[in-house]
Amino acid sequence: MNKRVVLGFLLLLVVYQASEGLQTVVAPGNPLGPALMLLALALAWPVGRWIDGSGWRAFGLLRPRWPGLLGGGLLLAILAKFARWGWASRRSHRWSRCRFRPWACWR
């Protein structure tokens, strides 16, 4: 396997996962999480140029119908969020304390 591909993947993985961890576990209200998410997107172009010279095309971000793919992905994410809210509103209050400590609710 190409070393550039592995190093580029690891760089983007670390930045993206740091953003996810910061937003969900460490500090949910901290604006650094979304900033790191945007940094991961901004880093995709130079990493793609470094890997094979194609920039964002290396990650499939510039395809002939990319606006439709982006819109479909955003619509799917919004529908999943609404489904999650509907499911969360029906669960009992007892499960709300299990968000970060699921082992506390295993019975």
Question: Each residue of 13-71: pLDDT tens digit?
Answer: 898 888 888 888 877 777 888 888 888 888 888 888 888 888 777 766 667 777 787 78
The answer to whether residue 39 sits within a structural domain is yes
Q: Is the pLDDT of residue 76 over 80?
A: yes
Domain that holds residue 10: 1-61
Residue 44 burial (10 A CB sphere; 0-12, 13-18, 19+): buried
Q: How many structural domains compose the chain?
A: 2
What pLDDT does 19 receive? Answer: 86
The answer to whether residue 102 sits within a structural domain is no
The answer to whether residue 104 sits within a structural domain is no
The answer to whether residue 98 sits within a structural domain is no
The answer to whether residue 72 sits within a structural domain is yes
Q: For residues 104 and 47, what is the distance between their CA atoms, to the nearest angstrom?
A: 42
Q: Is the pLDDT of residue 4 over 80?
A: yes
The answer to whether residue 54 sits within a structural domain is yes
Task: Kindly give the interhelix angle for 3-21 and 32-52, rounded to the nearest 10 degrees.
Answer: 170
